[in-house]
Amino acid sequence: MLEIVVHEIRGYCPVYKVGDSMLIDDPEIVLEKTDALCTHALSTLLHYALILEHNWSPVKLGLTTKDEPEHAYMQCVDPGKPYTEGGTVIFKCTRIKEEIE
C-alpha cells in the first residue's frame, strides 16, 4: 500500500494543499482515505505506483537519494508560471503496510 502526500506546492494549485494525501492499495485508489485527485498529477503518480507497490526501489528509479530511501518524490506535469497559471506539486510517497478496515 502506498501513501502519497502533497509535500510542496511551487506556484498555485487549484486542487491540492500541502498535507493532502491519497492512499493506493493496488489496484485501488482508496477514495474514502484520499483528500483530492487531479488528472495532471495522476499520469505521473500512477506510472510509478504499481512499480513502487510491488518492488519498492525509489533510489534505483531515481525518485530519491541514497540518504532517504524510505520515500519517493514525484511531481505533477504542470510547469507553472510563466507557462501556465498553475503550479507544480511535489508529492512524497511512502510504502505502508497498514490494512484498510
Confidence category of residue 98, pLDDT binned at 50, 70, 90? low
Total residue length of the chain: 101
Question: Considering the domain boundaries, does residue 12 fall inside one?
Answer: yes
pLDDT for 99: 55
Question: Considering the domain boundaries, does residue 16 fall inside one?
Answer: yes
Question: Considering the domain boundaries, does residue 69 fall inside one?
Answer: yes
Calpha distance 31→74 (Å, rounded): 20
Task: Please tell me the total count of domains within the chain.
Answer: 1
Calpha distance 9→17 (Å, rounded): 7
Question: Considering the domain boundaries, does residue 100 fall inside one?
Answer: no
Q: What pLDDT digit, counting tens, does each position of 7-43 carry?
A: 999 999 999 999 999 999 988 999 999 999 999 899 8
pLDDT for 54: 86
pLDDT for 5: 98
Could you list the residue range(s) of the whole structural domain that residue 36 is in?
Answer: 2-95
Q: What pLDDT digit, counting tens, does each position of 84-97 carry?
A: 999 999 999 999 98
Question: Considering the domain boundaries, does residue 23 fall inside one?
Answer: yes
Question: Considering the domain boundaries, does residue 101 fall inside one?
Answer: no
Q: What are the grid coordinates assigned to 18, written together?
A: 500541502
